[in-house]
Amino acid sequence: MLSYIIRRLLTMIPMLLVICFLIFVGMELMPTDPISYMVGPEQIANMTPEKLEEMREALGLNRPFIVRFFEWLGGIARGDFGYSLTNGQPIKDIIAAKLPATIELSLYALLISTVFGVFLGILSAVKRGSTTDSALTVLGMVGISIPEFFFGLVMILVFAINLKWLPIGGRTLPEYTSYWQQFRHVIMPATILGISMTAGVMRYSRSSMLDALNRDFLKTARAKGLPKWRIYILHGFRVALTPVVVLIGFRLPTLVGGSVVVEQIFQWPGIGDAFVTAVRGNNYPLVMMIALLTVTMMLAASLIVDVLTALIDPRVRLE
Amino acid sequence: MNQDIILEVKDLSVSFYTDNRKNNAIRNVSFVAQRGKTLCIVGESGCGKSVSASAILRLLPELSRIENGEIKYYGREEPINIEKVDPDGDLIREIRGGEIAMIFQDPMTALNPVYTVGYQISEMLLEHNKDMKKDEAMKKSVELLSAMGIPQADQRVNEYPHQFSGGMRQRAMIAMAMSCNPKILLADEPTTALDVTVQAQIFELMDNLKKDYDAAIVLITHDMGVVTELADNVSVMYMGYVVEDGTVDEVLRTPAHPYTKALLASIPILGRGRNQKIEPIRGSTPDPFNRPPGCQFEPRCDYATEKCREAMPEREFISGEHNVRCYCYKEVLKDE
């Protein structure tokens, strides 16, 4: 097991290099000049071409593509992620400031979707064909099809504006003394993010569970005289678990990547929000770092999923 | 009333309901299982053999119903009418596994792949012996496995089903079924998925169990060879009806139903050489939703008469336990 994990981690290195290259090429192909975003339009009009050229030279934009790529790569290897083009802040600091917010939000959403999705999925499968099942199926479809921004706006309207139970947005306020006060801010965004994920997990758990319920060993379990919860949970769901773990595992990247839509609606100061601002501002060093961070998490998630699958199912062997 | 009778199925009918259609899976089926005896239920696929077995443990699928008849279980002081028991209740759960155990056709899929064999046997022991401890159950599992002829049982008990061969898995299934000393063992084609040598070993094992535990075995099969080897009594089923029933000698030596007779004539006999005449049964099994109006076997029967087209014959006793559902059984017997 350990040697497998080490081998997988080693194969990640060339993969990450290729991904870094692709990200860099993608950024290079963007047709805009970062200078025009750094400096206001009026200033640009007043600047001589020599002055602009000087700025490009100072930022290293004039050197060959491949040189810049390896400089960037070398920087990352040294832990120097570069500087934001808009305000000169180190990218490391920006990410360090935004990441906890995103992790907080995504963790709650992941928790909500896993608990409710799995529970409702099992319920739906065990009571298949019943009113409960049909109702959950419809709700699941609604949850999947209605976009997050719509849910978000409706929730803000109802719970923040009309009922005034919850704050409209943001993550925290300076006067807060306990986490509990801050917690009220995360309820709505986490619920919205959770709902769309719950629907997916629920449908997935349901079909996986139905599949398990039709297997022969379920009949064996019944013929053994076991109580229902043992049959459904220990025999049925235990076997249905693997695909569900895979699905949830591949949601892990949102932990660091954040959700662009939800973070925007609720002015959540997370990575998703930072990403949008960076793209708008053509702040390509930051865009690249966030992209790289998400991709790294994706690779890590696939390793985590593989290891978990092997732990859950004795038939799976890590090779 | 015969003291040895442990299970009596009487006039049992089960129907399946699909898309507003009703399939009479079994109709007025009767048979008895006796302590220390093997009852073989034979018949082709879809004739209702497995449905009868599932009905005994109330393991029928959701869209099915026991229409009429009785399943009487005599394993306790008072006889229990299993057909009236709540299929989700505590009583049937005590009986399942504890008193009537079942083994299934395909040992590859009947064991749960994610638990060790030992866990699955212990689980059953712990369920039916409330004061047993986990390590005792594990110890008993090892004993059971080695009693079923699994070498190095103390190690294999911690292995998963996929590490067992087909024959080993069926042995493990039988070990599990026998773990709580059941009074009846229902075996639903236990060797169909296994090769012939392993089949023989499994049957030998079952035959020993019958003697050692004084259990009644209800063996469902479509293999006439198995019947000759193991059975004390035989019930022949066709399209949901028991068409002939009796001791193995009566049924195999003097078949009274044309179907039994045709079935026996269609089996090659080892040692008779290549010149023996094997006669297939002509035609094919009718569609269960479009049954013949009268005797179910009538369209394929050599003895069919006008009367056969009108109604399914009632049970008629020929001698002792030997009974048959055929209007023309006297002619069939005469042709022997």
Residues A113 and A34 in one domain: no
Residue A87 located in a structural domain: no
The reply to whether A13 falls in a domain is yes
CA distance A203 to chain B (A): 22
- Is the domain of A161 the same as that of A114? yes
Helices (H), chain A: 2-28, 34-38, 41-46, 49-59, 65-78, 91-126, 131-145, 148-155, 179-213, 216-223, 228-229, 238-249, 254-257, 260-265, 271-280, 284-312
The reply to whether B167 falls in a domain is: no
State the pLDDT at residue B191.
82
Please indicate, yes or no, if residue A160 is contained in any of the structural domains.
Answer: yes
Residue A84 lies in a domain: no
Please write the tens of the pLDDT for every residue from A68-87: 888 888 888 888 888 887 77
Would you call B94 and A225 a contact, using CB atoms and an 8 Å cutoff? yes
In a domain, B293, yes or no: yes
Inspect the interface and report whether the beta carbons of B124 and A225 lie closer than 8 Å: yes
Confidence (pLDDT) at A255: 77
Question: Is residue A45 domain-shared with residue A187, that is, in the same domain?
Answer: no
pLDDT reported for residue A282: 78
Q: Could you say which of A225, A312, A315 has the minimum Cβ distance to residue B162?
A: A315
- Beta carbons of B160 and A315 less than 8 Å apart: yes
Same domain, A223 and A271: yes
Do A27 and A153 belong together in one domain? no
Residue A165 counted as domain residue: yes
Total domains present in chain A: 2
Mean pLDDT of chain A: 85
This model of the complex carries an ipTM of 0.84
pLDDT of residue B1: 53
* Chain A positions in Cβ-Cβ contact with residue B176 (cut-off 8 Å): 224
For chain B, the domain total comes to 1
Asked whether residue A89 is domain-assigned, the answer is no
Same-domain pairing of A170 and A308: yes
Q: Give pLDDT, residue B125.
A: 93
A274 pLDDT tier (thresholds 50, 70, 90): confident
Tell me if chain B has a CB within 8 Å of the CB of A88: no
- Residue B160: what pLDDT? 92
Q: Which domain holds residue A13?
A: 2-78
Mutate to test the interface with A, among B114, B119, B178 (most CBs of A within 10 A): B114
Among A226, A235, A239, beta carbon nearest to B127: A226
Asked if residue B19 is part of any domain, the answer here is: no
- Determine the 3-state secondary structure of B72 from DSSP: strand
What residues of chain A lie within 8 A of the CB of B124, using their CB? 224-226
The reply to whether residue A225 touches residue B127, judged by beta carbons under 8 angstroms, is yes
B111/A220 touch (CB, cutoff 8 Å), yes or no: yes
Range with the poorest average pLDDT among A21-25, A49-53, B312-316: A49-53
Q: pLDDT by residue (tens digit) across A196-207?
A: 888 888 988 999
**A66 and A119 part of one domain:** no
Q: What is the pLDDT of residues A169-221, one digit of tens each?
A: 777 777 777 777 778 888 888 888 888 888 888 988 999 999 988 888 999 99
Distance between CA A287 and CA A190 in Å, rounded?
24
By the CB < 8 Å criterion, does A227 face chain B?
A: yes
Query: Would residue A33 count as lying in a domain?
Result: yes
Residues A104, A73 share a domain:
no
Residue A313 banded pLDDT, cuts 50, 70, 90: confident
pLDDT block averages, 10 residues each, chain B of length 336: 82 88 88 91 87 90 88 88 87 90 87 92 91 91 89 91 89 89 89 81 83 88 85 92 91 90 82 76 84 88 87 88 89 80
Q: Find the mean pLDDT for residues A303-317.
A: 88
Q: Over the stretch A105-121, which tens digit does the pLDDT of each residue have?
A: 889 989 998 999 999 99
Higher pLDDT, A258 or A72: A72
For range A245-267, the mean pLDDT: 84
A83 in a structural domain: no
What's residue B336's pLDDT?
Answer: 65
State the residue range of the domain holding B328: 241-334
Residue B119 lies in a domain: no
Q: What is the pLDDT of residue A37?
A: 67
Final residue in a domain of this structure, among A45, A78, A111: A78
Reported as a pLDDT band with limits 50, 70 and 90, residue A280 is confident
**pLDDT computed for residue B279 by the predictor:** 80
The CATH number linked to A248 is: 1.10.3720.10
